[in-house]
Structure 1
Amino acid sequence: MHDNPQASSGLVFALPDHRLIALTGRDAATFAQAQFMNDVAQLEPGQWHWSGWLTPKGRVIALFALLKLSDEAIWLLLPDADPAALASGLKRFVFRSKVAIEVRADLHVSGAFTDPTLARGPDLAGSDAESGIELDMGAEAGPRAVRIWNGPVAPEDPAVARWQAFDLEHGLPRLPASQAEHWTPQQLSLERLGAFSVKKGCYPGQEIVARTHFLGQAKRGLALLEGDEMLVAGSDVSSESASLGKVIATAGADGRHLALAVVPLGHDSQRLSVDGNAVRELPVRGGLAR
């Protein structure tokens, strides 16, 4: 067994909604390049970036952090999506590729609102589950670190709600199952995170993503909202009496109720409401792109 001294100090807490899928084998990087919306070929071994898997119509099935340990070892860190369902869906496209796709239930994910020990920006610290792999998830509002390893599970802590709110404040949608396969990368403003490529070769949904980009057809994007009542994904966002958009992700921490909503670009930010309750629009913070 491994010791985790930070856990006992209360600095480190479990992120139970984060799970791992591992792609391993000679064609792991090639398979990831063909299936996912960001450019894996631009990543050096030991780096990570935001990415996702799309439907053929360019709708986001799942968002994740893609970790390139090597050309033969790719990990997907899923903050929300069901790993078993996603792994099963990906296996349908393996065909003759030399790649194994496995849910790594043996690996545990923890977070801390502290500077990473070693990792910075897109670089990974550590190289295997035994010693642990560390990611820098910090941004404009402060430092954060993620650790993935096969040691003891970190304790649960209410700080996980603060972690989710931090994601929303920086434009990372935490998509519940009800919002999967509904939105394009541009509607989720994922260019803020550098999460998709319009220049690399084909991948599912690439034609829709590239056409929207090059023809300037993006008409909707994310807005960060704050309300005095709990907000629910799927709720309508209205401006006065007119329907404006949809809430797609929510979080609550420290007495605050936050949501990300897909709304028209250039909308009137005055007199907004969700389910009849007034909400305020806040600026989305920067710094979470990798």
Structure 2
Amino acid sequence: MSFKPNLAANACHPLPGHGILEVSGPDAAAFLQAQAMNDVAALAPGRWHWNGLLTPKGRVIALFALVHAAPSRFLMVLPDFPAEELASRMKRFVFRSKVVLQPLPWVAAAGPSPAFAAADAVLDGGDGGLALDMGGEDGPRCLWLLPSGHPSLAAPDAAVASAWHAADLAHGLPRLPEGQREAWTPQMLSLERLAAFSLKKGCYPGQEIVARTHYLGQAKRGLVRLAGESLQPGLAVDAAGQAVGTVVCATGDGREALAVLGADAPGDLAAGGQPCRRLPLREGLRRPA
């Protein structure tokens, strides 16, 4: 998975709110397989997929990209959860496993897109940097994972960060602020669109709820993309004066959002007293499970 990135100086703009947690050691794969909702055992070195951690009641604590960087070494790329906080939380379940949880002083940044052999391929620049294909229906995007101080890192750019966040939402990737953690099941967030959880792997926290919801057909709510004004997380979505859902996350300007709505919610919607309308979810962020 090596390549020559030829990254120019100041080519990559840091994305705020992203952390990187390294999980390494002889038992790293088994530890993650027992804790995470997707099939880590099926993730080959040099590949990545969407994954997450659930409460025992099947509610999403954190959603992340899981990179199998090398045998016995994984990187959890966390867009909305501090790596230090998640490491502390996960250490409670290490017990006697030979695994090390270490937040890395790395930066997740938006930068130039090289050619990827596959959508889930991890490209290694040979200088400590890794690249993930985050492209979708709207065109190519590349997420660079770079050590702090890397010469390709530029100053933060608010416009770049805003566009990245908006693209995540447009493609149905929920960005979970602290107030929306442990509030939704994977099906409520339509995470099957991202192949972010497994119904076939062994037990993990919340697995029983996820499986029951799937096999009994009880997923009565799902993710909807909305356009409106002053949209913000936690805002109730109404139809004909009745609450039909909740905004999960929104763009910085409040004009677009992802909300969890009932499957039978009518078309005329409002949030915060302002009318809003449905937008189609973009495709292309799904990665092999």
TM-score (norm. length: structure 2):
0.92
User: What is the RMSD computed on CA atoms of the aligned residues?
Assistant: 1.7
**Residue of structure 2 equivalent to 1:137:** 134
Aligned CA distance change for structure 1 residues 119 and 231 (closer, same or farther; 3 Å): farther
Instruction: Check whether the contact 1:68–1:74 (CA below 8 A) recurs between aligned residues.
Output: yes
Structure 2 letter corresponding to 1:110:
A
Instruction: Check whether the contact 1:52–1:62 (CA below 8 A) recurs between aligned residues.
Output: yes
Aligned counterpart for 2:119 among listed residues 121, 134, 158: 121
Q: Supply the distance in 1 between the matched residues of 2:273 and 2:95 (Cα, whole angstroms).
A: 50
| 2:280 is equivalent to residue 283 of structure 1 | yes
| 2:245 is equivalent to residue 245 of structure 1 | yes
Q: Percent identity?
A: 49
Structure 1 letter corresponding to 2:85:
A
Aligned residue for 2:122, secondary structure, equals coil
Q: Supply the distance in 1 between the matched residues of 2:7 and 2:286 (Cα, whole angstroms).
A: 30
Q: Supply the distance in 1 between the matched residues of 2:199 and 2:34 (Cα, whole angstroms).
A: 13
Q: CA-to-partner distance for each residue in 1:136-155, whole Å, 9 max, x for gaps?
A: 00001111001112114432
Deviation at 1:17, TM superposition (A): 1.4
Q: Supply the distance in 2 between the matched residues of 1:163 and 1:95 (Cα, whole angstroms).
A: 38
Instruction: Check whether the contact 1:116–1:135 (CA below 8 A) recurs between aligned residues.
Output: no
Q: CA-to-partner distance for each residue in 1:42-78, whole Å, 9 max, x for gaps?
A: 1111000000000000000000000011331010000
Aligned length: 279
Aligned residue for 1:91, secondary structure, equals helix
Instruction: Flag structure 2 segments of 5+ consecutive residues without an equivalent.
Output: none
TM-score (norm. length: structure 1):
0.92
**Residue of structure 1 equivalent to 2:186:** 185
Aligned residue for 1:209, secondary structure, equals helix
Q: Supply the distance in 1 between the matched residues of 2:42 and 2:216 (Cα, whole angstroms).
A: 25
Task: Identify which range, 217-226 or 116-125, moves more after superposition.
Answer: 116-125
Aligned residue for 2:249, secondary structure, equals strand
**Residue of structure 2 equivalent to 1:148:** 145
Instruction: Check whether the contact 1:69–1:127 (CA below 8 A) recurs between aligned residues.
Output: no
Which ranges of 4 or more aligned residues in structure 1 deviate by more than 4 Å?
A: none
Q: Supply the distance in 1 between the matched residues of 2:67 and 2:125 (Cα, whole angstroms).
A: 11
Q: Supply the distance in 2 between the matched residues of 1:217 and 1:164 (Cα, whole angstroms).
A: 30
Q: Supply the distance in 1 between the matched residues of 2:9 and 2:218 (Cα, whole angstroms).
A: 47
Deviation at 1:4, TM superposition (A): 8.2
Aligned residue for 2:183, secondary structure, equals coil
Q: Supply the distance in 2 between the matched residues of 1:252 and 1:181 (Cα, whole angstroms).
A: 22
Q: Trace 1:102-121 onto structure 2 (pairs within 5 A).
A: 102-104=102-104, 106-112=105-111, 114-118=112-116, 120-121=118-119
Q: Trace 1:236-275 onto structure 2 (pairs within 5 A).
A: 236-252=236-252, 257-269=255-267, 271-275=268-272
Structure 2 letter corresponding to 1:226:
A
